[in-house]
Amino acid sequence: MIGYEFGVLEPNASAAVRQTLLVAFYALFILAALAAWLLVLARAGSRAAEAETGHQTAMLLDEIAAHERTDAALQTAKAAAESANTAKSRYIVGVIHEIRAPLNAIFGYAQLLEAGGTLRPDEAIRTIRRSAAHLSNLVDGLLDISQIESGALHLHRDLVDFPDFLDQLVDMFRLQAQAKGIVFKDERARMLPRHVHTDEKRLRQILINLLSNAIKYTPKGEVRLNVQRRGLVTEFTIADTGNGIRPEDLAKIFEPFERGHLPASNALPGTGLGLTISKLLTEILGGEIAVESTPGQGSAFKVRLLLSEAQGAEAVAPPRRMTAYAGPRRKILIADDDADHVRLVSDVLLPLGFVVLSVADGPACLALAQDAAPDLIILDISMPFMSGLEVAGRCGRGGEGADLDGLGQSA
């Protein structure tokens, strides 16, 4: 417009003015383009910086969250480790406490007998026997728990005369209840099967543990064994009118060495493993166990198990006491470095007519086995010079040149 207006005023100079204005226009256009380009680059760089900042911030937040999760996991693991350590310490203390009392009784009465005091031997022997039985039950309970937790416990499918099985339990505990001055009631459904299939030893162990506890923790009143049958499921209810269990203890009463916190219950001797073993065995047999209790009024334990009825099964013959055996005299070699164990096994075998030989270590066992050719070798696993497993292996291979053919199977 400037060039046009100036060309109207000065026609002779319009070309020069137009050329000058074009040059100025292109120069300003280039400068404007450069400025716009720089602005675009600056904006793009700003956006890239903002994006990178956001990305770094997100990564930092993720790392912080990961650290928080790791810290929480570490705290949880630490708490679990501390809890496990506390449980282990409590477990060990419980074992030591349960072992110390019977050991002190055995040791004390053994000293009195050795000193030839005025104590009656029959009383000392009964106390030693009860203490030894207590130790044996404790060890058996610990082994049962270990086998159950490791999956090494094997179940059997036995043919059980169910009424006779219950009669044995009732006869056993009715005497205990009468000796304590309490009533023992036996209540059964009319239509119980004659024979059932189950692991008789484990079922007996469950019921003995529960009935023993019921009588032990019932100072007066009654203990009741109730057996009902619903289809294939048999329900055993062991109820008592004893001390009972506090509500806050019901959730942990099945833990090892946990006996509740009622003074009347803790004052009585016991291993604290019976309920633990009963619960584990019940679950392994595919059943369930539950408890209802009121402090001061009693408790009721219910065990529900699937016991299949055996159709047309004949009664199992009662076990007979072995007194001897027919045929030629058999020779048995005992290899054990513990003289008490050797003496005990010998006292069991000699009255039956066996010829018993004994040695205290592995090499002596191999030497005597070569000379005496026993029919059976009873080996202790841990012996001086050579373990029982090594001795058995050498017997199976012929004893490194010795004439022990056929002995490997007996060993």
What are the beta bridge partners of residue 376? 332
d(CA 107, CA 114): 10
**Which two structure tokens, joined as six digits, stand for 17?**
């003015």
Per-residue confidence in pLDDT tens, the chain, 411 aa: 777 777 777 777 777 878 888 888 889 999 999 999 999 999 998 898 888 998 899 999 999 999 999 988 888 888 877 766 665 666 666 666 667 767 777 887 787 777 776 556 777 787 787 778 767 766 776 777 677 767 667 788 889 899 999 998 888 888 888 888 899 999 998 888 989 999 888 898 889 889 988 888 888 899 999 999 988 899 999 999 988 888 888 877 887 766 555 555 554 555 567 788 888 889 888 899 999 988 888 899 999 999 988 876 444 455 567 888 888 999 999 999 888 888 888 988 999 999 999 999 989 999 999 888 999 999 998 888 888 899 998 887 654 434 444 343 333
Pair 117, 168 in one domain = no
End residue of a domain, out of 245, 275, 309: 309
**Residue 255 falls within a domain, yes or no?**
yes
In terms of Cα–Cα distance, which of 316, 344, 290, 288 is closest to 197?
A: 316
Q: Are 52 and 134 in the same domain? A: yes
**pLDDT at site 31:** 92
Domain CATH code at residue 254: 3.30.565.10
Is residue 292 domain-resident?
A: yes
Helix, strand, coil % in the chain, rounded to nearest 5: 55, 15, 25
Partner residues linked to 298 by β-bridges: 294
Residues 64 and 170 in one domain: no
Structural domains of the chain, count: 3
Q: Which residue(s) pair with 161 in the sheet?
A: 195
Q: Which residues contact 110 (CB under 8 A, 6 or more apart)?
A: 128
How far, in Å, CA of 91 to CA of 98, rounded? 11
The encoded tokens of residue 282 equal: 């019940």
pLDDT at 38: 92
Q: What is the pLDDT of residue 123?
A: 72
Of 101, 128, 153, the one marking the end of a domain is 153
95 and 178 in a single domain? The answer is no
CB atoms under 10 Å from CB of 365, counted, come to 31
Q: Are residues 9 and 148 in the same domain?
A: yes
**148 in Cβ contact with 284 (< 8 Å):** yes
Domain end point (choices 153, 179, 213) = 153
DSSP three-state, residue 306: strand
Statement to judge: residues 186 and 223 lie in one domain: yes
Angstrom distance (rounded) from CA 36 to CA 366: 105
Q: Are 232 and 191 in contact (CB under 8 A)?
A: no
* Cα–Cα distance, 255 to 280 (Å, whole number): 10
The span from the CA of 92 to the CA of 171, in Å, is 36
Domain membership of residue 180 (yes or no) is yes
Q: Is 140 inside a domain boundary?
A: yes
Distance CA 240, CA 247 (A): 17
102: alpha, beta or left? (left if phi > 0; alpha if psi -120 to 50) = alpha
Specify the 3-state DSSP secondary structure of 238.
strand
In a domain, 325, yes or no: no
What is the 8-class DSSP label of residue 125?
A: H
- Check if the beta carbon of residue 225 is closer than 8 Å to that of residue 186: yes
Do 142 and 162 fall within a single domain? Answer: no
Residues 134 and 206 placed together within one structural domain of the fold:
no
Q: Residues 157, 197: contact at Cβ < 8 Å?
A: yes
148 and 167 in a single domain? The answer is no
**What phi-psi label fits residue 245: left (phi over 0), alpha (psi between -120 and 50 degrees) or beta?**
beta
* Cβ contacts of 383-391, under 8 Å, gap ≥ 24: 383/335, 383/336, 383/337, 384/337, 384/360, 385/361, 386/361, 386/362, 387/362, 388/335, 388/362, 390/362, 391/335, 391/362, 391/365, 391/366
pLDDT value for 406: 39
What is the CATH classification number for the domain harbouring 347? 3.40.50.2300
Identify whether residues 210 and 90 lie together within a single domain.
no
Whether residue 285 sits in one domain with residue 185: yes
CB under 8 Å to 252, separation ≥6 — which residues? 258
Question: What range defines the domain where residue 176 resides?
Answer: 158-309
User: CA–CA separation, 38 vs 26, rounded Å?
Assistant: 18
Q: Is residue 318 in some structural domain?
A: no
Same domain, 291 and 196: yes
Neighbour count for residue 60 (Cβ, 10 Å): 10
d(CA 335, CA 390): 12
Distance CA 137, CA 148 (A): 16
The domain that holds 96 is classified in CATH as 1.10.287.130
Largest CA distance in the chain: 157
Q: Is the pTM of this model over 0.75?
A: no
Strands (E), 249-399: 288-294, 298-306, 308-309, 331-335, 355-359, 376-379
Whether residue 94 lies inside any domain: the answer is yes
Residue 303 buriedness (CB in 10 A; 0-12 / 13-18 / 19+)? buried
Residue 317 domain flag: no
